[in-house]
A and B are shown apart, each in its own frame.
Chain A
Amino acid sequence: MRDWISHSLPFPHIIMTPARLCTLLALLCLVLSGFSLATQLPVTQWAQALFAPNNTNIDQILVHYSWLPRWTIALLAGGALGIAGVLMQQVLRNPLAAPTTLGVATGAQLALLLATLFAPSLLLLGREWVAVAGGGLAMGLVFALAWRSRLAPMVVVLAGLVVNLYLGAVSTTLILFHQEELRGLMVWGAGSLSQNSWDGVLYLLPRLAIALVLAGLMLRPLAILELDDVNARSLGVSLKHLRLVSLGLAVFITACVVSVIGIIGFIGLAAPAIVRLLGARTLPQRLLWAPLLGALLLTTTDQLLQRFSGALPTMIPTGATTAALGAPLLLWLIPRLKLGGERPNTAPMLTAPRRRTPGRLLMVLGLALLGALAASLLLGQNSNGWAWPSWAVWHATYEWRLPRTLAAAGAGTLLALAGTLIQRVTSNPMASPEVVGISGGTAIGLIGVVLFVPGVGLPMLLLAGTLSALATLGILLLINRRSGFQPERVLLTGIAITALFDPLRSIVLANGDPRTQQLLAWMSGSTYYVDTSLAIVVAASAVVLTLALQCLSRWLDLLPMGNSSARALGVNVDRARLALLGVVALLTAAATLVVGPLSFVGLLAPHMARLLGASRARAHLLAAALLGALLMVLADWLGRQWLFPQEIPAGLMSSLLGGAYFMWSLRKL
């Protein structure tokens, strides 16, 4: 066993192996569980309570029907997510793949939302089946999108991420309009382990047993996936089917867990990553240790939570907590994680025909933007229906429509620029400001201020947002300084920071604080709270920055060619990356303050620009900026008109519109 204890560990004085970590955690978990039991029952009654409770003793009943099922389901779910994570990371050859990145969790949640609202009778057949169907459909969508590329790992992850965002946007829209009806799903969505019978365990157990047996059967073919595509194929393995079956299995496991206890973040990502880091290199090793670690992580967290959260009026769901605890751990891991070079990279870059004359493209986009601006300002509804432009509504146009339209255009531009920069710096089509975590970091600061400082005004919010954006940037720089700002690590840091934002949001939503309405609206990217002066500042800085960034186009053309090429051509790679990331952070922070953290545009606009043929940095930046503005303006206008007088936030609308287009184009990749 000593052999695969890695000698490459960064801290050789502590030799930690998966086995030792699991033993430590198991001891901690047992001690905590013992304490927890001891506060509920005298030791003499333990055996009776665990195996054959006395039906007249409420303490024994609580232990037998609530505490013990909860303890068991935590172990089961943690283990299941660990297996799912290993399978996905193996199939996708991506240490960041996790059960949630395929859209399964959001798919399941959306299905339950829809059933609750529109077909409650389906829920009587069984919530879990509705959830499994939703998760399965989401997975099917991801696979359909990635089918053309023979389910190449990179495309699957990209499609999963997009489907995740898209379904998440639909869920948020529904929650926004039906907050009171859906409060039960908020608790579920945040991953509460609380049980009041053995039903959940009995549901999960046989399904997981079957899944485990299947995973065991696929051990050998799955190990072949460590080779690259050509070698694996030459061994006679049908890659398409192998990936399909193993991903399907992982998704089935995830859907089962999600349908019983909701979305448990991070375990599926962390457990496999940690055991790999601690030296579990081969697939059988990882399949053994990752579920064990996952089970122990979740159970220990849950025990800690039960011990310390009893005194609080807010319920802190375990799923959200694992995500919150996991994020710092992930941040600590990132500088120590071996990425790239370990696995053959077959990921295709987004390629599209380059246009000789981007001028015409830019002109068409510019004209389209002007048209959208005019429509957004002049066309609207009032209580009598559609109103055509007239002097009578000039006041409304100026007072209410102009700030929102300008802010939408400005924010869209800023996000598109940020997205273009980060996609070019990291050579990663998955990158977007949201992934880098600055949106999430800004949002955390703003939520904190809204929740803890009553009656706070806009200037204070602006200040708080800016400070948290800078703090996030600081964390990003601090953690990535040692690695010379390697693109993957920067993205990984970003995901970890975003992972901190999610649990916070879930806890807020789960507790049904009526103030969540306002937070929800802002989090879904609304231009509602923008006033004229802010709108002008945003729009003006968008224009100025678009032009100013043209100076950086040399870096942006050279960096995607790789470190050595760029260095050979005279670019100080580290300094260039640092500067570009700083610009990205500021762009994102400015846009987030205006339209919230849902920056789908930052992913979408640079993509569309590239698919339309703008591949050189200069044209790419301009086209993306125009597209970003166009997209946000259209989204804002449609959002205001579609369900009049209720308004769908621009960020949500752009996700709904842009996501659909993006998925369509992804299909042809």
Chain B
Amino acid sequence: MTPLSMRGDNLRFQLLSLALLVLLAGSYNASAADTPRIATVDWTIAETLLALGVTPVGVAQTDAYREWVGAPPLPDEVVDIGLRAQPNRELLAQLAPDRILLSPMFSTLAPSLGRIAPTDTVALYTPGSDLWTRLKSATREIAAIADHEAEADTLLAWLDAHLALLRQTLDTQDVSDRPLLVVQFIDDRHVRVFGEHSLYNAVMQRLGLENAWRGTTNYWGFATVGLKALAQYENARLVIVKPMPVGVEQDLETSVLWQHVPAVRSDDVLTLPPVWSFGGAPSAMRFAEHLSQALIDASATPPTHETPDA
């Protein structure tokens, strides 16, 4: 493996992403006229709509969406309809959308929002079901409501193909097969660690990567644990999904326990840019890309304690 082949892979990612954008932009222009005007309080639904080429008329907490979900970008003309749990109904009524979409978390809003426009609840996180299956059916449900079913097929086919391609790339790239611990920092002593039933875990399965976290997780696929829990994983690589809370990076530098987490000691920590941890297809794709890229970059510069065996 040479630096040159690495660059080639980077380029391939980018070309493929570009192709997707063109594809979606095309479909967006074609069907913009008869697309229903949709408002949603849920960011996962909002990102899915945007990925399908549908711009929602109203989304809750647009500033926070830009900060926490980020991509696909929310156009400026999308109206901020207030808090996710309490969208402003007077404003919604004035916007007069054709459809309103909720997630089960906000389903108590359904009766009152139903008086403004037909309101549907799309469930992504459902106890006892396979997240990946739910993600696909939820994407199709949203697409059906937005009258963009063809785009959903394209998006999901693309997602599968892209993940398969990334998996292939990872296989050929001599990426270490050690299990991964995917965490997000809460403060300098606590993390959310993502396990079964989380979006990150579902993506890792598709990429053929092993999740080191075998502990129980909540409804949303994560567990809140102290740093101590991480120290017990001798053989795991650590994947940190940003953003990091203010001051945590500095605090960790002086934290003895952190320095002794096996992955940190062997300098085997990957840091990924922010990806919405409760997201849908677009977030899955972004997580897959960031993670693969980080893994490939890391295998180019192997951790200090590892002996190059190839």
Q: Is A196's CB under 8 angstroms from B246's CB?
A: no
Q: Is A187's CB under 8 angstroms from B187's CB?
A: yes
Chain A residues with Cβ below 8 Å from B94 are: 382-383, 396
Chain B residues with Cβ below 8 Å from A120 are: 246-247
Interface string of A513-532 (1 = CB under 8 A from B): 11101101100001011010
Known interface pairs A58-B260, A184-B186, A184-B187. Does A514 touch B105 (Cβ–Cβ under 8 Å)? yes
B89 at the interface (CB under 8 A from A): yes
| Distance A402 CA – B124 CA, assembled complex (angstroms) | 35
Q: Is B84's CB under 8 angstroms from A187's CB?
A: no
Q: Is B91's CB under 8 angstroms from A382's CB?
A: yes
Q: Is B85's CB under 8 angstroms from A517's CB?
A: yes
Q: Is A187's CB under 8 angstroms from B224's CB?
A: yes
Q: Is A399's CB under 8 angstroms from B226's CB?
A: no
Chain B residues with Cβ below 8 Å from A199 are: 254
Q: Is A454's CB under 8 angstroms from B104's CB?
A: yes
Q: Is A514's CB under 8 angstroms from B107's CB?
A: no
Q: Contacting B257 at CB < 8 Å: which of A116, A196, A383, A526?
A: A196
- Within the complex, the shortest CB–CB distance from A121 to chain B, in Å, comes to 8
Chain A residues with Cβ below 8 Å from B111 are: 457-458, 531
Known interface pairs A65-B257, A457-B108, A520-B85. Does A513 touch B187 (Cβ–Cβ under 8 Å)? no
B168 at the interface (CB under 8 A from A): no
Known interface pairs A196-B257, A197-B257, A315-B224. Does A514 touch B245 (Cβ–Cβ under 8 Å)? no
Interface string of B99-113 (1 = CB under 8 A from A): 000001111100110
- Within the complex, the shortest CB–CB distance from A314 to chain B, in Å, comes to 6
| Distance A62 CA – B234 CA, assembled complex (angstroms) | 13
A194 at the interface (CB under 8 A from B): yes
Chain A residues with Cβ below 8 Å from B225 are: 315
Closest-by-CB residue of B relative to A57 is B260
Q: Contacting B255 at CB < 8 Å: which of A196, A382, A396, A510?
A: A196
Q: Contacting B278 at CB < 8 Å: which of A188, A514, A521?
A: A514
Q: Contacting A647 at CB < 8 Å: which of B83, B226, B234?
A: B83
- Within the complex, the shortest CB–CB distance from B269 to chain A, in Å, comes to 16
Chain B residues with Cβ below 8 Å from A400 are: 89-90, 93
Chain B residues with Cβ below 8 Å from A526 are: 86
Known interface pairs A188-B187, A400-B89. Does A65 touch B108 (Cβ–Cβ under 8 Å)? no
Residues of B142-158 contacting chain A, CB below 8 A: none
Q: Is A512's CB under 8 angstroms from B224's CB?
A: yes
B228 at the interface (CB under 8 A from A): yes
Q: Is A177's CB under 8 angstroms from B186's CB?
A: no
Residues of A183-234 contacting chain B, CB below 8 A: 183-185, 187-188, 192, 194-199
Closest-by-CB residue of A relative to B193 is A313
Chain A residues with Cβ below 8 Å from B223 are: 313-315
Q: Contacting A176 at CB < 8 Å: which of B83, B216, B217?
A: B83
Chain B residues with Cβ below 8 Å from A183 are: 186
Residues of A304-323 contacting chain B, CB below 8 A: 311-315
Interface string of B211-230 (1 = CB under 8 A from A): 00001111110111111100
| Distance A510 CA – B226 CA, assembled complex (angstroms) | 12
A642 at the interface (CB under 8 A from B): no
B295 at the interface (CB under 8 A from A): no
Q: Is B90's CB under 8 angstroms from A62's CB?
A: no
- Within the complex, the shortest CB–CB distance from B167 to chain A, in Å, comes to 28
Closest-by-CB residue of B relative to A404 is B89
Known interface pairs A183-B186, A458-B108. Does A65 touch B256 (Cβ–Cβ under 8 Å)? yes
A36 at the interface (CB under 8 A from B): no
A661 at the interface (CB under 8 A from B): no
Chain A residues with Cβ below 8 Å from B68 are: 180
Chain B residues with Cβ below 8 Å from A123 are: 246-247
Closest-by-CB residue of B relative to A517 is B85
| Distance A280 CA – B180 CA, assembled complex (angstroms) | 55
Residues of A59-108 contacting chain B, CB below 8 A: 61-62, 65-67
- Within the complex, the shortest CB–CB distance from A190 to chain B, in Å, comes to 11
Q: Is B218's CB under 8 angstroms from A646's CB?
A: no
Closest-by-CB residue of B relative to A511 is B224
Known interface pairs A455-B104, A531-B112. Does A521 touch B85 (Cβ–Cβ under 8 Å)? yes
A616 at the interface (CB under 8 A from B): no
- Within the complex, the shortest CB–CB distance from B117 to chain A, in Å, comes to 13
Q: Is A194's CB under 8 angstroms from B79's CB?
A: no
B64 at the interface (CB under 8 A from A): yes
Q: Is A194's CB under 8 angstroms from B190's CB?
A: yes
**B interface residues, how many (CB within 8 angstroms):** 65
A440 at the interface (CB under 8 A from B): no
Q: Is A65's CB under 8 angstroms from B105's CB?
A: no
B262 at the interface (CB under 8 A from A): yes
Known interface pairs A58-B231, A197-B255, A380-B90. Does A192 touch B219 (Cβ–Cβ under 8 Å)? no
B47 at the interface (CB under 8 A from A): no
Chain A residues with Cβ below 8 Å from B192 are: 512
| Distance A127 CA – B228 CA, assembled complex (angstroms) | 21
- Within the complex, the shortest CB–CB distance from B104 to chain A, in Å, comes to 6
Closest-by-CB residue of B relative to A200 is B189
Chain B residues with Cβ below 8 Å from A194 are: 189-190, 226-228
Q: Contacting A646 at CB < 8 Å: which of B82, B245, B254?
A: B82
Most buried by A among B112, B246, B258: B246
- Within the complex, the shortest CB–CB distance from B29 to chain A, in Å, comes to 26
Residues of A583-607 contacting chain B, CB below 8 A: none
B88 at the interface (CB under 8 A from A): yes
Most buried by A among B79, B91, B127, B216: B91
Most buried by B among A55, A198, A517, A645: A645
Q: Is B190's CB under 8 angstroms from A187's CB?
A: yes
Interface string of A257-274 (1 = CB under 8 A from B): 000000000000000000
Chain A residues with Cβ below 8 Å from B163 are: none
Interface string of B230-264 (1 = CB under 8 A from A): 01101000000000011110100011111010100
Closest-by-CB residue of B relative to A316 is B224
Q: Is A645's CB under 8 angstroms from B88's CB?
A: yes
B80 at the interface (CB under 8 A from A): yes
| Distance A644 CA – B89 CA, assembled complex (angstroms) | 11
A124 at the interface (CB under 8 A from B): yes
| Distance A65 CA – B256 CA, assembled complex (angstroms) | 7
Closest-by-CB residue of A relative to B68 is A180
| Distance A383 CA – B91 CA, assembled complex (angstroms) | 7
B38 at the interface (CB under 8 A from A): no
| Distance A196 CA – B73 CA, assembled complex (angstroms) | 38
Chain A residues with Cβ below 8 Å from B185 are: 184
Q: Is A647's CB under 8 angstroms from B86's CB?
A: yes
| Distance A510 CA – B83 CA, assembled complex (angstroms) | 20
B95 at the interface (CB under 8 A from A): yes
Closest-by-CB residue of B relative to A195 is B189
Closest-by-CB residue of A relative to B81 is A645
Q: Is A177's CB under 8 angstroms from B231's CB?
A: no
Q: Contacting A455 at CB < 8 Å: which of B107, B112, B262?
A: B107
Closest-by-CB residue of A relative to B224 is A315
Q: Is A62's CB under 8 angstroms from B257's CB?
A: yes
Known interface pairs A65-B260, A120-B247, A531-B112. Does A521 touch B86 (Cβ–Cβ under 8 Å)? yes
Chain B residues with Cβ below 8 Å from A456 are: 108
Closest-by-CB residue of B relative to A178 is B64
- Within the complex, the shortest CB–CB distance from B233 to chain A, in Å, comes to 10
| Distance A231 CA – B185 CA, assembled complex (angstroms) | 57
Chain B residues with Cβ below 8 Å from A62 are: 228, 231-232, 257
Q: Is B257's CB under 8 angstroms from A521's CB?
A: no
Q: Is B93's CB under 8 angstroms from A396's CB?
A: yes
8 inter-chain pairs at a CB distance below 8 angstroms, sorted by A residue, are A65-B257, A180-B68, A196-B189, A313-B218, A514-B220, A517-B105, A529-B112, A644-B91
B contact residues vs A (CB 8 Å cutoff): 61, 64, 67-68, 79-91, 93-95, 104-108, 111-112, 115, 127, 185-190, 192, 215-220, 222-228, 231-232, 234, 245-248, 250, 254-258, 260, 262, 278
* Seed contacts A382-B91, A395-B93, A512-B186; 8 additional CB < 8 Å A-B pairs: A55-B260, A66-B226, A184-B190, A314-B218, A399-B115, A454-B127, A511-B218, A644-B91
Please name the 10 residue pairs, one residue from A and one from B, whose CB atoms are nearest each other, closest first. Answer: A196-B257, A184-B187, A194-B226, A120-B246, A645-B88, A517-B85, A315-B224, A645-B82, A313-B223, A313-B216
